[in-house]
Chain A
Amino acid sequence: MANDRIKARKIRVLPGFKLTLGFTLFYLGLLVLIPLAAVFWKTTTLTWPEFWHTITMPPAMASYRLTFGASFCAALVNVVFGLVVAWVLVRYEFPGKKIVDALVDLPFALPTAVAGITLAALYSQHGWIGRSLEPLGIKAANTQLGIFIALTFIGLPFIVRTVQPILEDLDPELEEAASSLGANRWQVFWRVILPMLTPALLTGFALAFARALGEYGSVIFIAGNIPMHTQITPVVIMQELDMFEYGKATAIAVVMLVVSFVLLLSINVLQWWTNRYNTHNLA
């Protein structure tokens, strides 16, 4: 009994566990759960067949595939190139590093509509980049490629900023030890560095992916928004709202919510799993 009390005291250095937990639940409830519950509540204006019909209509189905597919690819590409950017920023010194570091955050700060208009102007067939892509037979503006570009743009900071602190804490001695034990460069990266970065990369991936799923402002200007082809789910939702179909709009939103939640939850589980594997290996 006395032992238990000492143990409990040891774990909780700061008092107020119940208070802070209570506050956390209240805060999350107010900010997240109530609005989400309202979304679910709005769908009750539809009957079950109506609900099913709405969420499975062909333009909606095509938009799910596009939204989840493009968001996934964009986040994946960002994992690779975000890691490279973070690596360069942590491991090397070069003139103008501070500026490059600040540039990474720009997609965070820029209003998404501004980003969208800028990208659309750049990639349209008369724009700076679009002009040189045109002869190669590549069309970016008003295609699915354009959506992918916009989502990659907004997702970059998430990977860089989650990987950067982990890389900074990574002791170069580990790499030196590995190579002095005979590992080649590839093995050092694959067997030593990458496993330690995986949880951070997964977090960054989840953040970038989630952000891309909900992205609207930057995509609509470059997407073309053609039904069945370049229309992302948020645009389908807006379309329903513009026709005063609140029930239908929320029905499609519910699909987005549920699928996103399941995906993010599985990424969290994966992250927990890789993390456990990691510490186990190190010990």
Chain B
Amino acid sequence: MKTIGIIILTALLVASVNAREIKLLNVSYDPTRELYTEYNAAFAKYWKAKTGDDVTISQSHGGSGKQAQSVINGLEADVVTLALAYDIDAIAKQARLLPADWLKRLPNDSTPYTSTIVFLVRKGNPKGIRDWDDIVKKGISVVVPNPKTSGGARWAYLAAYAYALEKNNHDDAAARAFITKLYKNVPVLDSGARGSTVTFAKNGIGDVLLAWENEAHLALKEFGADNFEIVTPSLSILAEPPVAVVSKNAKNHHTTEIANEYLKYLYSDEGQEIAARNFYRPRNEAVAAKYAANFSPVKLVTIDQEFGGWAKAQKTYFADGGVFDQIYQP
């Protein structure tokens, strides 16, 4: 009896010394594939060194709204890293998988890195596109995804709108006229950022692509820097793609601790460097200074300052019958 007890005890001890294997699912949006591939490897290494446990992180990518829907419909994400707060709000509201005040749980409104909207133009900039005014001119063809289905496209729309507001002393009618002119120049609205990049870069449609800054840099890498160049406008929007632990799922999977650590590590020096290397603007100023060459200076406005937050912007501009729909009314 005694020997059996000792055997069991040693077995338990050995088991606890043995590394546990933990699985984590990060549900993200389209252009973060490369960022999280690099970050996951770095985090797994960090976690192994810290706790001895092996962690395997799975990734899922797609349009931000679609990804949020999947989580609402039961995709068991431990963390979500989406294009805009509105989509994570939807998970909190519709499925109650995380508290409504999730945005305040991590520093910088749960946004460890930021991005903005820039222009990608063809090599040599044959149409001479320098700023927003140039892309609403007659005869310029602009490629941008549908703001109703793409997070990046909503940021792009708001960036253009913010520029028009600033330029016209916050005259809303003038800004609407500006945005109408802009979308009249759009021959194709893809459903997501990657779709638009392909339309512009591969199918050769359009003079300018309105893209996430990191997506534009990626397109340069992917399709050749001798084919395209990046133009940074004078003013753009501070795009804040937030991250959050899906509390209920993480609790069920017993991954709450590691999921929190996974997101917190994004704010560490290493996490910030990885973000910067993948052309996301880091929050950490030292890292930002180190990678300053990657990011052209641009005046950035926030959605809270200019548009009073996501809920309001969504309702005014993108909901059915909103300003975006009115652009296309005859």
Residues in A lying within 8 Å of B, measured CB to CB:
54, 57-59, 117, 120-121, 124-127, 141-142, 220-221, 224-229, 235, 238-245, 248
Contacts and interface: CB of A to CB of B under 8 A. Distances in A.
A200 B204 CA distance: 42
Contacts of A120: 199, 203
Contacts of A241: 65-66, 69
A239 B149 contact: yes
A218 to B, nearest CB: 14
B65 A142 contact: no
Interface residues of B, number: 33
A167 B90 CA distance: 56
Given A142-B205, A244-B90, A227 B69 contact: no
A117 B194 CA distance: 13
Interface string B184-217: 0011111100010011001111000000000000
Interface in B290-330: 314, 318-321, 325, 328-330
B77 to A, nearest CB: 16
B187 A124 contact: no
B330 to A, nearest CB: 7
A227 B191 contact: no
A141 B191 CA distance: 16
Contacts of B26: none
Interface string B41-67: 000000000000000000000010110
A57 B321 contact: yes
B148 A242 contact: yes
A51 B148 CA distance: 20
A126 B204 contact: yes
Contacts of B203: 120-121, 124, 126-127, 141
Interface of B: 63, 65-66, 68-69, 72, 90, 94, 146, 148-149, 186-191, 195, 198-199, 202-205, 314, 318-321, 325, 328-330
Contact of B328 (A224, A227, A238, A243): A227
Nearest to B73: A246
Contact of B205 (A54, A58, A125, A227): A125
A122 B314 CA distance: 36
A225 B192 CA distance: 12
A242 B63 contact: yes
Nearest to B187: A142
B90 A59 contact: no
A271 B204 CA distance: 46
29 contacts: A57-B320, A57-B325, A58-B325, A117-B198, A121-B203, A124-B203, A125-B205, A126-B204, A141-B203, A225-B190, A226-B328, A228-B328, A229-B328, A235-B191, A238-B191, A239-B146, A239-B148, A240-B320, A241-B65, A241-B66, A242-B63, A242-B66, A242-B149, A242-B191, A243-B65, A243-B148, A243-B318, A244-B90, A248-B320
A141 B204 CA distance: 11
A240 B191 CA distance: 12
B205 A141 contact: yes
Given A120-B203, A243-B148, 7 more contacts: A221-B195, A225-B190, A225-B191, A243-B318, A244-B69, A244-B90, A245-B320
A276 B4 CA distance: 85
Contacts of A54: 320
